[in-house]
Amino acid sequence: MLQGCLSQSVGSYFGASNVDRTTTGSIAGQAVPMAGPSASGGMVPQISIDPGITNSKDMYAAVFDNGISLPAVPYKDMDQRFVRRIVPNITGELPGTIVVDTANRYLYLVQPGNEAIRYGVGVGKEGFAWQGRAVIQYKKEWPVWTPPAEMVARKPELQKYANGMEPGAMNPLGARAMYIFKDGRDTLFRIHGSPEWKSIGTQASSGCIRLINQDVIDLFNRVRPGSPIVVL
């Protein structure tokens, strides 16, 4: 499978990767769970209802989008930590901010009410690192993927895509891309979709932050150009 982009795992203030801090998912059409005692004796926060955060069968169903068909994701085979859900905001950032926790393979989109939408992500292999604060400069539906020259040098078989690979279900940038700029300059890092759902939760790419296509479509619809992003 083709690999898109340029990131690596770094330290995180969110804790160990095997800790799932989810209180509960939000199920559309069902009652909102009331706050109740946690195992530690504190109160588990009430979690909101969101039409984009329903059950996995619906969230990861097949999609026909802009004339392109995306297959359903076998969500039962996924690591359930990486299923899209609403969680308490543990990032300390303001609503509208994207926070990428590369160590634990999560992307948070901070919401009002001290909550966040959390998505599972795949990150870049060792040697393709970027971290810091930046903004989403712009975003694209069904982007054309053009491998950078250094990638073509490493993988000569990509020469045929030197002028760009047309959008499609197998395009490495997936269904959507969000372009990360810092101080007005392109970092060359992206948040983008991927046809490789098994890569979520791993260091599998040549960089960038990848999401399942169904998740990146949901994120894309929530994020505006100029939104702040923090990559840890």
Q: Which residue has the higher pLDDT, 40 or 140?
A: 140
Non-local CB neighbours of 9 within 8 Å, separated by 6+ positions: 102, 103, 123, 126, 203
- The share of the chain scoring above pLDDT 90, in percent, equals 58
Cβ-contact 85, 98 below 8 angstroms = no
Extents of the domains making up the chain:
37-231
Distance, in Å, from the CA atom of 63 to the CA atom of 78, rounded to the nearest integer, reads: 18
Fold classified for 37-231: L,D-transpeptidase catalytic domain-like (2.40.440)
CA gap 62, 59 in Å, rounded:
9
Which of 188, 189, 216, 187 has the alpha carbon at shortest distance from 200? 216
Q: Name the pTM for this structure.
A: 0.79
Cα–Cα distance between 147 and 19 in angstroms, integer? 35
List pLDDT tens digits, range 100-153: 999 999 999 999 999 999 999 999 776 566 889 999 999 999 999 887 788 888
